[in-house]
Every structure is written in C-alpha cells, then in structure tokens.
Amino acid sequence: MLHHVADFAMNNFSGIEPGFGPIQIKFRISIASDLSAQIEPYGDENGASITCPEYPDNLLQGGGKCNFLVDTLQVMLLYLDKKDDPEKFRAKHDYFVSLLKDAGEQIPELG
C-alpha cells in the first residue's frame, strides 16, 4: 500500500528534496547590490509555484516563527493593516531577520 503513496509523491512532487515543498507566491522582492528594493509580480495572475524550505505547521502555528525567504509583507517588512496584531508580526519579523542574518554568514549576498 505504501508504494501507492510513493508513486503519488514521485509523480506529483518530482524534483523536490526532503525538507522542501511547493509554495505558491504572487510577488517577489528584488534587492539590488546598492540595497534598493523593488516589489514585482511573479508568475501569471495566480502567481507561480516554487520550491522552498518547509517548516512543520506546529512550528509556524506556535507563534514567533515564519517561513525562510517566502512570507507575507506583514512578516518581511512589517507592512501592517489596522486589524493586524503588531506584537505577533514583530516576533515573526524578528525571526525572519535572524534567519537572514544566519544565512548571511554563509552567503554574504544575503547579509
């Protein structure tokens, strides 16, 4: 019976390494070497599917955590609406920045 699950995974998620999963995005932020940034549409009107590091739902729902390099403008830039909880998003934003700093130690361009 497990071979059916394996067949399904191979047919629907080929090329995805363990620890990575598909995620749908609609926009991307491009940052130039002079630190200027531009928000641009990504993919078609529905966005595009890309492969990203995948975190367990219980980690993300526990509070103060976020996805690495792919998340909402609220988390990445603290672009908040009146209904958004500033404390909740500040914790996620701080975690996002800490992930970038950690990655920047290995990949200087991310610093």
HSE at residue 10, side-chain half, CA atoms within 13 A, is 6
Residue-wise pLDDT for 49-100, tens only, equals: 888 887 777 777 777 888 888 888 899 889 999 999 999 899 999 999 998 8
Q: Residue 32: helix, strand or coil by DSSP?
A: coil
CB 79 within 8 A of CB 73: yes
Q: What is the pLDDT of residue 86?
A: 92
Residue 4 has φ and ψ, to the nearest 5°, of -65, -40
Beta bridge pairs of residue 41: 27
Residue-wise pLDDT for 12-33, tens only, equals: 766 667 778 888 899 988 878 7
Task: Give pTM, 2 decimals.
Answer: 0.70
pLDDT of residue 35 exceeding 90, the answer is no
The beta strands (E) that lie in the chain are given as 20-25, 27-31, 37-41, 48-53
